[in-house]
Structure 1
Amino acid sequence: MYVSHLSLHDFRSYAVAEVPLDAGVTAFLGRNGQGKTNLVEAVDYLSRLQSHRVATDAPLVRSGADQAVVRAAVVKDGRTAVLEVEINAGRANRARVNRSPLPRTRDLVGLVRTVVFSPEDLALVKGDPSERRRFLDDLMVLRAPRLAGVRSDYDRVLKQRNSLLKTAGLARGTARDGALATLSVWDDHLARTGAEILAERLVLVDALRPYVGKAYETVARGATRDDAEIDYKPSFDLGGATERREIAEAILAEVGRRQRDELDRGVSLVGPHRDDLVLSLGHGPGEERLPVKGYASHGESWSFALALRLASYDLLRADGDDPILVLDDVFAELDAGRRQQLAELVSGAEQVLVTAAVPEDVPEALIGARYRVGDGEVVRDE
């Protein structure tokens, strides 16, 4: 799978951009602030309907414009499909495939799959649990796009339930009784949608675990595949539950136990939105494993972040299609050894999109087509 043509209209800094692409490696070169990352961000947005740089869509629409359009011709098994998303400021987005509107914008998710390496990846290791939850959920949805709907439903349930908890916590008498009765309905919704997300995350972590160990062994000097470990940490003890029905029952039981705390604080304290992906390292048989956050060196942290991305790529590749690899300004953050290792590992991908400030930042293993980006123009080197 690869993108053969990218079209942008009022996306980020570009009023219009038309960029023909080939399979293999393409590098976008230019000074910081010239729009290199905007190009690869657009490709990634088509994959996930999210940016790897910002949390909302508003910054994606060029200043002064009402909407942005990202369109790409995607080649898979010799066939070409044109994917398009219309990003509307303050209104619902719209998506099309081969010019035909999709019933729901989220139906576009997963039709093209990307794995992005960027300087922000260090937050996977050193950041809040929300960073690791998003990493799992993005990968989960790329593997099974229908889960985008479940994820959206859970977010909606959580928002409604939190609002009701605040109301019920302040109410008195019959008003409080009525709020609590309504709350029980939302408890059921939370348990149902939360159990599906939690069960899928557990399966995903089990599938990802061996790939993480293998990837860490490859990128960390002197490491073995047993050094790096990932484990899923729910917000409460599941008691061995792994099936959706069992997990839903466990969530409901915990919600009942924590109800007073939730009413006092006005927030939902139980569910996958409170879980974490635990990253740990060990350096020999029988040695105690320590959490990467707070204990690992800067180099070990970078190696673990790279291992998570490489493991994602390998897992998606094992599912079927090669994802498009995006290496967004990542080489400037790595020492020479890790640059070369990463380049060699990904050089065989069907399509690799690289951004860099100077040509020297791109390792020799990733020699391919090159574009100069500057002053609003994207020009291919001949």
Structure 2
Amino acid sequence: MTAFTHLTLTDFRSYQRAELPLDGRPVFLVGPNGAGKTNLLEAVSLFTPGRGLRNATGAELSRRMPGETQGRAWAVAAVIEEGGEPTRIGTGIESAGAARRTVRLEGEPVPPGRLADHQRQVWLTPAPSRKRRSWAGDRRRFFDRLVFAAEPSHAAHASAYEKSQRERMRLLTDGPADPAWLTALEARMAEAGALMAAARARTLSALQAEIDSRGDRPFPQARLTLTGDWEKMAGEGVDLAEIEARLIRALAGARERDASAGRALTGPHRGDLAVIHA
């Protein structure tokens, strides 16, 4: 079992300094509006890859006093107990105004994706219908957070895919579009993209099975699907190596079109989550 045993906030949002000892039991936060309850939840949410509960930048999370032109450096730290062994994790910005936060594990800097190796989070927040009305990218990010909870390695694969995609588009739009370099980047994208598609398909299958098992409840049922071609292949049982090979061919064949569009038009970053009430 994994549990938070200590949480510390420094110059984070409304908190100059706060320490919260925990013992693994459920926690209920009670207080008037503006007391800082959501700020505490947001602090905990930053121990996952991404930008947290409110999708805020690092600079937006800083505590700022009247008259200060920019927020201060901030930090959120925690002790997590895993199988009786404590692990120290932390995140924050190290200089005032910095946009990108750093992540530390036992005091050493690590990629944000490593956070998912030590604890997993699922957020249930108000107004879920916003996901239905939002852009495909918002729904995809929401679904990917569910995938992170089931398969922590998904965060690292998504990060590797996005990094290679940015480098590929920079070559296609700014040059030089070196074929060998593009081929290498597309191979990395395809490897990570195939793993992403497979993880999404597995998570979708598990969610649908959980929904179907609760048919006796007095709530509408739902049918979930992923609209991306690559996730569909994975869901149909196409071999991972075959998905990777097809994605390599698709990316190579789309270079001219992607260069003209200024963005990649094929790949798992184009998929969407569809929910139909049954």
Mapped to 2, the partners of 1:105 and 1:87 lie a distance apart of: 13
1:201–1:18 distance in 2 versus 1, CA, 3 Å: same
Cα deviation 1:304-354 (Å, max 9, x = unaligned): xxxxxxxxxxxxxxxxxxxxxxxxxxxxxxxxxxxxxxxxxxxxxxxxxxx
- What does residue range 41-190 of structure 1 map to in structure 2 within 5 Å? 41-48=42-49, 50-63=51-64, 64-88=70-94, 89-90=98-99, 93-97=102-106, 100-119=107-126, 121-167=128-174, 178-180=177-179, 182-190=181-189
1:231 aligns with 2:225: yes
- What does residue range 212-251 of structure 1 map to in structure 2 within 5 Å? 212-214=211-213, 218=217, 220=219, 223=220, 227-235=221-229, 238=233, 242-251=238-247
Mapped to 2, the partners of 1:26 and 1:260 lie a distance apart of: 54
1:281–1:14 distance in 2 versus 1, CA, 3 Å: same
Higher strand share: 1
1:33–1:153 distance in 2 versus 1, CA, 3 Å: same
The residue type equivalent to 2:275 in the other structure is L
Other-structure match for 2:67: none
1:254 aligns with 2:253: no
Mapped to 2, the partners of 1:74 and 1:219 lie a distance apart of: 38
Other-structure match for 2:30: 29
Retained in 1: the 8 A contact 2:4–2:24?
yes
Taking structure 1 as the reference length, the TM-score comes to 0.61
Cα deviation 1:252-302 (Å, max 9, x = unaligned): 2333444443232121111111011221122xxxxxxxxxxxxxxxxxxxx
Corresponding residue SS for 1:109 = helix
Mapped to 1, the partners of 2:118 and 2:241 lie a distance apart of: 30
1:55–1:257 distance in 2 versus 1, CA, 3 Å: farther
Corresponding residue SS for 1:32 = coil
Mapped to 2, the partners of 1:238 and 1:73 lie a distance apart of: 41
Mapped to 2, the partners of 1:202 and 1:209 lie a distance apart of: 11
Mapped to 2, the partners of 1:233 and 1:264 lie a distance apart of: 24
1:167–1:82 distance in 2 versus 1, CA, 3 Å: closer
Retained in 1: the 8 A contact 2:8–2:18?
yes
Cα deviation 1:50-77 (Å, max 9, x = unaligned): 3121253221222345422112233444
1:265–1:51 distance in 2 versus 1, CA, 3 Å: same
What is the aligned residue count? 267
Query: Structure 2: 5+ residue runs without aligned partners?
Result: 65-69
Retained in 2: the 8 A contact 1:61–1:68?
yes
The residue type equivalent to 2:62 in the other structure is V
Mapped to 2, the partners of 1:144 and 1:126 lie a distance apart of: 27
Retained in 2: the 8 A contact 1:241–1:247?
no
What is the CA-CA distance between 1:123 and the residue it aligns to? 2.7
1:256–1:86 distance in 2 versus 1, CA, 3 Å: closer
| Structure with greater Cα Rg | 1
Other-structure match for 2:11: 10
